[in-house]
Chain A
Amino acid sequence: MAGKLSFSLVSPEREVFSGLVDQVDAPGVEGDFGVLADHAPFMTALREGTVTVLDGGNRRQFEVEGGFADVTPAGLTILAERASEVAAG
């Protein structure tokens, strides 16, 4: 497997998540998508929904609203007006 994906989830008030992960699944306006390391650069608006972060065996979920995902060679950045972690359960 290729290297890890650098992912950060930021809201206007704070940086909600930042770190290296294996995979991120996000709800795009035109369909859900997953991002792995070395993804081709692209940008999309996000629907209201859940962003899932997969790293090793760990799985964290974040509720986002009004966001954008920006994939560059440097990694994935999600800008969301509101973002909060969903309690694991």
Chain B
Amino acid sequence: MASLKEMRNRIGSVKSTQKITKALNMVAAAKLKRAQDQAESARPYAQKMASVIANLAAGVSGDDAPKLLAGTGAEQKHLIVVATGDKGLAGGFNSNVIRAARERINTLIKGGKDVRIIAVGKKSRDGLARLYGDKLVHTFEMSDHKVIGLPAAEPIADMIAEEFEAGRADVVTLFYSRFQSVISQVPTPKKLIPAEVAGDAPPVNLNGAVYEYEPSEEEILETLLPRNITTQILAALYENQASFFGAQMGAMDNATRNAGDLINSLTLQYNRKRQAQITTELIEIIAGAEAL
């Protein structure tokens, strides 16, 4: 049985842990607000881009459709991009994304497909390198960038385009965590190549007029599609960021509550024990006095 001093120390250490988790919780809450705002302000661009592409894609079809839109026609070589955070202490945030990606990778490997992996975020690399070290192409670390923005998304998009053009990938899928709410983040696969034309984007009503393109429709589509990949990655990174802080907030909230429960039960034990000790001492004194 622990001595009173040991118990006091224990309570003290749990209390300081609680202070840390509480601080992290508040920091995450503040950062979550910012990440959410950022994700929201990026939405108009992504939406507009999706509807423009849907518009263009409807007009371009058949063999002359750009490969980024139509795919290579094969489905043998898969490139999987897994985006997580660089840090832990966020509950199941990182492991959920990694698990979803791992399931997909395993199915693909079982199906005899070639799989290559790009890891975005340290945790993604750590989680995947152990199992698929030979398939890992490259790791991007988000901590190289102070804020998430185009400079963070562009190198990833460039690398994907490079892999695709070199014929090392037929299908490119991005795994990230979609921010549904503060308490719910959903690991989501998103197909980057061939481009998924958003079905929910409303078609532009032209009132019977005909669109004019400058330069040609194909040329516009060809410059627009690589940009769309960047946009999609950026949007995913923003969502990831918001999800991370949401998950961290939840995890730290739990941890703070657990620490509180632990402090309560330890304090109770400590008080009982102290009381028992006082009682024993009193009995000893009284017994000693009676013996005289």
Contact = CB atoms under 8 A, between A and B. Distances in A.
A73 B150 contact: no
B48 A43 contact: no
Contacts of B46: 12
B70 to A, nearest CB: 20
Given A68-B52, A73-B207, A79-B52, 5 more contacts: A10-B44, A15-B44, A29-B215, A41-B212, A44-B220
B211 A41 contact: yes
Interface residues of B, number: 31
Contact of A43 (B41, B49, B205, B213): B213
Interface string A33-64: 00000001111110000000000000000000
Contacts of A41: 204, 206, 209-212
A40 B212 contact: yes
The majority secondary structure among interface residues of chain B is: helix
Nearest to B47: A10
Contacts of A73: 205-207, 209
A74 B204 contact: yes
Interface of B: 38, 41-42, 44-46, 48-49, 52, 149-150, 153, 204-207, 209-215, 219-220, 223-224, 227, 230-231, 234
Nearest to A29: B215
From A10, A11, A42, A82, name the one whose CB has the most chain B CB atoms within 10 angstroms.
A10
B209 A40 contact: yes
B206 A79 contact: no
Given A10-B48, A70-B52, A45 B223 contact: yes
Contacts of A82: 150
Given A30-B214, A45-B220, A79-B49, A12 B42 contact: yes
A8 B214 CA distance: 20
B96 to A, nearest CB: 26
Interface residues of A, number: 26
A84 interface: no
B205 to A, nearest CB: 7
A63 to B, nearest CB: 15
A43 to B, nearest CB: 5
Contact of B227 (A8, A15, A43, A66): A66
B206 A42 contact: no
A28 B3 CA distance: 80
Contacts of B38: 13
26 contacts: A11-B45, A12-B46, A12-B149, A12-B234, A13-B45, A14-B41, A14-B42, A41-B206, A41-B210, A41-B211, A42-B212, A42-B213, A43-B211, A43-B214, A43-B220, A44-B214, A68-B52, A70-B48, A72-B205, A72-B206, A73-B206, A73-B207, A74-B204, A74-B205, A79-B45, A81-B150
A68 B220 contact: yes
B31 to A, nearest CB: 17
Contact of A13 (B149, B210, B223): B149
B204 A12 contact: no
A81 B230 CA distance: 10
Contacts of A15: 41, 44-45
